[in-house]
Amino acid sequence: MTITPVLLCGGSGTRLWPLSRKSYPKQFVPLMGKETLFQASAKRLSGLFIEEQDEACFAAPMVLTNSDFRFIVTEQLQAVGIDPGAILIEPEGRNTAPAVLAAALRAAAQDPDAILLVAPSDHVVPDVAAFHAAIERGLEAVRAGQLVTFGIQPSHAETAYGYLELAETPDASGNPVALKRFVEKPDATRAAEMLAAGNFKWNAGIFLFAAKDILAAFQTHAPTLIAPVQAALDAAEVDLGFLRLAPSPWGEAEDISIDYAVMEKAENLSVVPFDAAWSDLGGWDAVWREAGPDADGVVTTGEATAIDCKDTLLRSDSERLEVVGIGLENIMAVAMNDAVLVADMSRAQDVKKAVTALKAKGSAQATTFPKDHRPWGWFESLVVGERFQVKRIMVHPGASLSLQSHFHRSEHWIVVEGTARVTVDDEVKLVTENESVYLPLGCVHRMENPGKVPMVLIEVQTGAYVGEDDIVRYEDVYARG
């Protein structure tokens, strides 16, 4: 028995701003420990899933993401020892229904009986064994042609989640139960009523089914999605191991969730109750709960200090910025190099309003992460002036930037860690720690890391314009336009 995980990782996670942003959303950030949520999700869906049966295992994951994250996905999977399966690049976000359909169509082309487990890549599930046991309980229903979803036992009257109303109160076996209906996100009063009723579960958005069965459901309930998604697959192009879905037909697919398109209409849907801990970390209040507050209800992360505080989250994701709270109650304060969030804990779901407000005023902090992650490593701006910019750049071992030139700026590179192989027009030379090289305006240049350890340098740009779009690429191993 083999299950193919389908990991969805194209979301922006605005409710966890400023740590999560459009350019680097929460699934790729180490929110709860050293591993990112995406890495933890991939590890949770790898190897054996039924320990007593050696033949039962997960296949390599199929990942659906967008072009900006394609190299982050491969880098983070390789960092935890997982070889990815297919990585499908969505030309634009069309919600979960087209994404799930694309995965099912691709899997069914190889094996119509293939079993898929569709999961968001930003959830926290501490008890992996309990989750695997829940999958095992769902397999019998899948073999009977059922579409299976997983209902989370509510721990509190949450208003940020949708709910599943079960046809009956589940027993202690945890076996699948018929679904009565989906329930939209409730107000506080209704959430409390559903919590007390006992037959309502949180909708986790995790699904288990055979490829042929979900395709039959699409054919019955959302047939207009099939033609554009199939056309996007048929015309897809392989690019450095990624599969780029064709933009034109993909753009014709309706922007709709899998719940609205299929699941709310399907009559063959069963719910596996899952009573162990789970969170989608949908707000800073959820991060506070999952982090394990101390006796005073305080959580501190990074360079943060709490004095006489209660029910408070203090977090610094900047090694140069200390967050200190004195006499705070029910407050969340999250600091990064370029932005600080301070809000009442009860307003956690309103953080996305801050992103909207920042977008309206044109602030880069609304969407752009301080560290700009690239296929070869990352850079961050340390100082930006009217005619200059200072950056710190990290290049992975064996990686190289594109062969390029600039119209409006010259650059000075100072290596501070490792060794760089630098090309300046026709000259190639090694630059080691505490050495520098000057790149005059208009020169054709490239930076490479020929070593076995990360290479770090400080770049000083000077000129009339220092924007990231002042670049002409001549050669690029990452096939960027």
What pLDDT, in 10s, does the model give residues 222-240?
999 999 999 999 999 998 8
Please check whether residue 185 lies inside any domain of the structure.
Answer: yes
Region 100-120: what's the mean pLDDT?
A: 97
Residue 193 is classified by DSSP as: H
Same domain, 59 and 205: yes
Please check whether residue 25 lies inside any domain of the structure.
Answer: yes
The amino acid at residue 226 is: I
Q: Which of 248, 274, 300 is the last residue of a domain?
A: 274
Q: Which two tokens stand for residue 373?
A: 């992650």
Same domain, 255 and 307: no
Same domain, 85 and 184: yes
Same domain, 111 and 72: yes
Q: What is the pLDDT of residues 57-92, one digit of tens each?
A: 899 999 999 998 999 999 999 999 998 889 999 999
CB 323 within 8 A of CB 304: yes
Strand pairing class (298-302; 371-374): unpaired
Please check whether residue 197 lies inside any domain of the structure.
Answer: yes
Of 424, 423, 421, 429, the closest CA to residue 397 belongs to 421
CA distance 76 to 6: 16
Those residues with Cβ within 8 angstroms of residue 55's Cβ, 6 or more apart along the chain or in another chain: 1
Dump strand ranges (E) for 276-322.
Answer: 298-302, 304-307, 312-316
Q: Which of 360, 383, 404 is the last residue of a domain?
A: 360
In this prediction, residue 11 has a pLDDT band, given cuts at 50, 70 and 90, of confident
Cis peptide before 25 (omega within 30 of 0): no
Q: Which two tokens stand for residue 408?
A: 């409006």
pTM of the model: 0.88
Please check whether residue 279 lies inside any domain of the structure.
Answer: no
Same domain, 119 and 255: yes
CB 470 within 8 A of CB 409: yes
CB 328 within 8 A of CB 306: yes
Same domain, 150 and 291: no
Same domain, 106 and 230: yes
What's the CATH number where 418 sits? 2.60.120.10
Q: Which of 241, 274, 307 is the last residue of a domain?
A: 274
Residue indicated by tokens 């945890």? 174
Same domain, 114 and 60: yes
φ and ψ at 221, to 5 degrees? -105, -20
CA distance 372 to 297: 34
What's the CATH number where 138 sits? 3.90.550.10
Residue 303: CB atoms within 10 A of its CB come to 17
CA distance 247 to 249: 6
Residue 127 is classified by DSSP as: -
Same domain, 240 and 289: no
Q: What is the pLDDT of residues 269-323, one digit of tens each?
A: 999 999 999 999 999 999 999 999 999 999 999 999 999 999 999 999 998 899 9
Residue indicated by tokens 């949450």? 158
Beta-bridge mates of residue 306: 325
- The pLDDT, as a whole number, for residue 51 is 47
Those residues with Cβ within 8 angstroms of residue 419's Cβ, 6 or more apart along the chain or in another chain: 430, 431, 432, 433, 449, 450, 451, 455
- The pLDDT, as a whole number, for residue 476 is 87
Region 109-116: what's the mean pLDDT?
A: 96
Same domain, 463 and 318: no
Please check whether residue 366 lies inside any domain of the structure.
Answer: no
DSSP-based helix, strand, coil % in the chain, nearest 5: 25, 35, 40
- The pLDDT, as a whole number, for residue 296 is 98
Same domain, 81 and 164: yes
Give the H/E segment covering residue 422.
Answer: strand 420-424
Please check whether residue 481 lies inside any domain of the structure.
Answer: no
CA distance 438 to 448: 15
CB 354 within 8 A of CB 335: no
Please check whether residue 173 lies inside any domain of the structure.
Answer: yes
Helix residue spans in 253-407 (DSSP H): 258, 284-291, 351-360
Domain that holds residue 97: 2-274
Residue 72: CB atoms within 10 A of its CB come to 20
Handedness of CA 354, 357, 359, 364 (dihedral sign): negative
Region 162-182: what's the mean pLDDT?
A: 91
Q: Which two tokens stand for residue 381?
A: 């701006």
Poorest-pLDDT segment among 5-14, 272-281, 323-332: 5-14
What is the number of domains present in the chain? 3
User: Per-residue pLDDT for 143 more than 80?
Assistant: yes
Please check whether residue 309 lies inside any domain of the structure.
Answer: yes
Same domain, 415 and 354: no
DSSP string, 326-357: ES-BSEEEEE-SS-EEEEEGGGGGGHHHHHHH
